[in-house]
Each structure stands twice: as structure tokens, then as C-alpha cells.
Structure 1
Amino acid sequence: MKTQEEIIEINKKQKDFYNYKSDKKNLPTRIWYYFREKTLKKIRKDIGILSESYEIHKTWFGDLSNKKVLDLGCFAGNHWSLYMAENSKEFIGLDLSDVAIARLAERIKPYPNAKAVAADFLSETDFPDKDFDIIYAYGVLHHFQNPDVLIAKLDEKLAPGGVVISYDPLETSLPIKIMRVLYRPFQSDKDWEWPFTKKTYFKFAKTFNIVERHGLLGQAKWYFIMNFIPFLSEEKKQSIGKKWHKKDWDLSAKSDSQLFKCMHLTMLMQKK
């Protein structure tokens, strides 16, 4: 496992990658990004996974008017960045990429309580802020190879009773694990791409109270097969996909075995 200092060095490479990512992706990485952004994102949109995830995150935010919020790894802004910037008592958008943060800074100019910071979350020198009521980490926590270092830093940065709201990929479903193992040797960003394993999940569960969780793209990951069934209408395909998603969403909230069949995981975690 990498030490905190080693991860900070890796994050310098990650910063360079995301500042100039169009030039840094090799062909296998470009193919994977296309699959993820075009195929998976379309599936999540078609059967309501994206909208339901975003809406539950908003519910988990609650009333932001008295909360200090960290939007961790937000790049130039995610789905809820401007909402949080407008409604929070204090908002910080944090990312390694100074290029992306410059864009976010322009977007949040109307909100005097909000600022955008280009810094490494792990660096106490570069980012000393703490006592956050909410740390929103959409697609971020799996970028740390050593979860122990990350978990300790999250716990340190939270105010008493503060929460982490996360959304990350899982590597616990056998077909997905096989696909990732085959792809990983060719992956341009493999040094900071570490989808959650069962062990990773249980480390988070040991440190934080998992108030609520949901797995996504369990049975519903096979929705893409519907595109190869010509006699099914789009309405029927989406109806089946939504039923599969509902089953994944509900069962994974309580059953570990169902959770680990999924491709993605979203959690509301509270500081103990």
C-alpha cells in the first residue's frame, strides 16, 4: 500500500493527466472512456439510475443553509456543485486540476460564500481547511490506492456528526472484475483508479456509520443486451430495465451479497 507521501506524488501525475487529459489517454483508455461515458451513462439515464442517484444525494444534503460543504474532486463542477455553492453557508470546491478549478471559480462568482481551490486533499500544507459538515465525493474516493490514508483524512476533515456522500465504482461483480483485470495493464490512469473491493467497503464501514447505501447496475447492468432484441419496443425495454434497477436499489441497501453484484455504490456515511 502507498504511503500518504507516495500518493501525493502520484496525485501530481493525476493533476497533469486531468489538466491535459485529451493528450494523455492511450487507445485502450479512450475505448474504456467511450464505453463508460456513452454506453454506461446511457443505460443509467434510460432507466433512471442517474436521476435517482442525484435526487437521493440532494435528500442527503438536507438544509444546507448552516453547513460547511466540501465538494471533493469536483473538477470544473459536477451535477450539484452550483446548487451547493448557492445554498451552503460555506462552500469549497476542491480539485487537483488548476485548469478545471479556474473554470469552476468563474461559475461560482455570484456566490460570495463559495470558493474554488486547486490543491491536494491529503496535503495539510496546501489544504488545511477542516470541520466540514458535508464532504461530497462524486466519483472520487476510488482514486486513492490506500483507503486507510483516505479514510483517516476524511475523518480528520469532518466536523462532529459530519457526513460523507459518495458515489464510486465497485470491482466485486465477477464479470466486471474480469473485464477490469484484462483492461488494467493498458490503462493510462491505472495509478489512481482503484474501484472498491469488498475489503475497501468494509474499511469504510468500520470507521463510519453507513447511514444508507445503494448498489447500482447489478442485474440492471445487463440492460444493454436489450438493444440486441429487435422485437422489444423501447418502452418495454426501459420498463424491464427500471424493474431491474429497482430490485438492485432496494436489495443492495440491506444485503451485502446483492450489493457486491453491482457495478456502482453510493453511500451516506456519518462520522462516529
Structure 2
Amino acid sequence: MKTQEEIIEINKRQKDFYNYKSGKKNLPTQMWYYFREKTLKKIRKDIGILNESYEIHKTWFGDLSNKKVLDLGCFAGNHWSMYLAEHSKKYIALDLSDVAIASLAERLKSLPNAEALAADFLSEEFAEKDFDIIYAYGVLHHFQNPDVLIAKLDEKLAPNGVIISYDPLETSLPIKIMRVMYRPFQSDKDWEWPFTKKTYFKFAKTFTIVERHGLLGQAKWYFIMNFIPFMSEEKKQSIGKKWHKKDWNKSATSDSHMFKCMHLTMLMQKK
């Protein structure tokens, strides 16, 4: 496992990678990104996964009027960045990429309660703490050593503060096989660490998992229906939505079903 200092050094390369965008991705990584953005995102949109995960996050935010919010690893802004900035008492957007943060800062300049910072969450340079909410959409799996990350998250939260996360899982056998085959060719492999079972249980030991939902369990097979002739789009989507609901509901209480999923979203509270 990498130490905090080693992760900070890796994050300097990660910053360069995201500043250059696709220019630093090799061909296999570009293909994976295309699959993720064009195929997985389309599936999530078609059967309601994307919208439902966004809406549950908004519910978990609750009343923001008296809350200090950290939008962790938000790049140039995620789906809820502006909403969080406009409704919270204090909002801080944080990302490694100074290029992305400069873009978001321009959008935030009319909001006196909001600021955007280009800094490493783990470094002493980022001294802010006592956050009521840490929103981490697609971020927590970028840390190879979950112990270092968990300690820092716990340190930065206010009493009873919460983390709202969304990350990929590597616990489904077909997905694990696919990732193992892809990893030797992956140009961003040093900071891409989808959650394992061990990772999940480390978070569960430190924080109270108030609510959780797995996504793309049975529903990950929705893409196969695109190859079935003579089935209407309505029928395909109806089946996909049924599978998604099963994943969403069963994963909330069943570890075994959750670990069959590709993605996991959680509401975690400081103990």
C-alpha cells in the first residue's frame, strides 16, 4: 500500500493527466473511456440509473442553508456543483486540475459563499475542515490506499458530517476479469482503484453506512438486448428498468447482491 507521501506524488502525475485530457491517454485507455462514456452512460440513462442516483444524492443533501460543503474531485463541475454552490452556507470545490478549477471558478465568481481550489486533498496545502457534507462523485476510488483516504475524510468532517459517494466496484466476476485484462495497458492505472470487498468494509468500519445502493448488477446485461432482433426499444427499456429496480432495492440490504453490481453509491456518516 502506498503511503500518503507516495500518493501525493502520484497525484502530481494525475493532475498532469487530466490537464492534458485525451492527449495523455493511450489507445486502450481511450477505448475504455469511450465504452464507459458512450455505452455505460447510455445504459444508465436509458433505464433511469443516472437520474435516480442524482436524485438520491439531492435527497441526501437535505437542507443546505446552514451547511459547509466540500465538492471533492469535482473537475470543472459535476451534475450538482452549481446547485451545491447556490444553496449551501459555504461551498468549496476542490480538484487537482488547475485548468478545470479555473473554468469552474469563472462560473462561481458571482457567489460570495463559494470558491474553487486547485489542491491535493491529502496535502497540508488544503487546510479547510469541519465539513457537514463531502460530495465525492466518482472520486474515492482514485486512492490506492483506502486507509490514508478514510483517515483524511474522517479528519475533515464536522461532527455528524456525511460523505455522499459514487464509485465503481470490482467485485463482480465478469467485470473483475475485464479489468484485469485491461489493466496492463491502462495509462491511468496508478490512480484507478475500483472498490473491492475489503475496501467497502474498511469504509463501513470507520463510518456509519446510513444508506447504500448498488447499480448495474443484473442491469449490466441490458446491453445484450441491443443485439436481440424484433424487440422494441420500449420492451428492452421496460426489462432494463425492472432489473435496475431489483439491483437498487436488493443491494440496499444484501451484501451478496451489492457485490454483483458495477457501481455503488453511499451515504456515510461520521461516527
TM-score (norm 1): 0.99
Matched position secondary structure for 2:71 = strand
Unpaired runs of 5+ residues, structure 2, are: none
Partner in structure 1 of residue 232 of structure 2 = 233
Q: 2: distance between equivalents of 1:59 and 1:240?
A: 26
- 1:251 is the counterpart of 2:250: yes
Q: Contact 2:22–2:30 (CA<8 Å) still a contact in 1?
A: no
Partner in structure 2 of residue 193 of structure 1 = 192
Amino acid corresponding to residue 256 of structure 1 in structure 2: D
Q: CA deviation at 1:159?
A: 0.1
Q: CA deviation at 1:230?
A: 1.4
- 1:144 is the counterpart of 2:138: no
Q: 2: distance between equivalents of 1:239 and 1:23?
A: 39
Q: 1: distance between equivalents of 2:107 and 2:236?
A: 38
Q: CA deviation at 1:246?
A: 0.0
What number of residue pairs does the alignment pair up?
A: 271
Partner in structure 1 of residue 6 of structure 2 = 6
Alignment of 1:78-97 (within 5 A): 78-97=78-97
Q: CA deviation at 1:73?
A: 0.1
Q: CA deviation at 1:77?
A: 0.1
Partner in structure 2 of residue 15 of structure 1 = 15
Q: CA deviation at 1:106?
A: 0.5
Q: 2: distance between equivalents of 1:95 and 1:149?
A: 18
Range 137-146 or range 17-26, more displaced: 17-26
Partner in structure 2 of residue 57 of structure 1 = 57
Q: 1: distance between equivalents of 2:60 and 2:117?
A: 24
Amino acid corresponding to residue 96 of structure 1 in structure 2: L
1:127-150 Cα shifts (integer Å, max 9, x gaps) = 000000000000000000000000
Partner in structure 2 of residue 34 of structure 1 = 34
Partner in structure 2 of residue 173 of structure 1 = 172
Q: 2: distance between equivalents of 1:245 and 1:178?
A: 22
Amino acid corresponding to residue 84 of structure 2 in structure 1: M
- 1:204 is the counterpart of 2:200: no
Partner in structure 2 of residue 267 of structure 1 = 266
Partner in structure 1 of residue 220 of structure 2 = 221
Runs of 4 or more off by more than 3 Å in structure 1? none
Matched position secondary structure for 2:136 = strand
Matched position secondary structure for 2:176 = helix
Matched position secondary structure for 2:153 = helix
Q: How much identity, in percent, do the aligned residues show?
A: 89
Amino acid corresponding to residue 115 of structure 1 in structure 2: E
Q: CA deviation at 1:16?
A: 0.2
Q: 2: distance between equivalents of 1:270 and 1:27?
A: 40
Partner in structure 2 of residue 157 of structure 1 = 156
Q: 2: distance between equivalents of 1:244 and 1:112?
A: 44
Matched position secondary structure for 1:195 = coil
Q: 1: distance between equivalents of 2:104 and 2:96?
A: 12
Q: 1: distance between equivalents of 2:53 and 2:98?
A: 28
- 1:127 is the counterpart of 2:99: no
Amino acid corresponding to residue 32 of structure 1 in structure 2: W
Q: 2: distance between equivalents of 1:233 and 1:107?
A: 42
Unpaired runs of 5+ residues, structure 1, are: none
Matched position secondary structure for 1:20 = helix
Amino acid corresponding to residue 45 of structure 2 in structure 1: K
Amino acid corresponding to residue 162 of structure 1 in structure 2: G
Amino acid corresponding to residue 46 of structure 2 in structure 1: D
Q: CA deviation at 1:271?
A: 0.0
Q: 1: distance between equivalents of 2:162 and 2:43?
A: 29
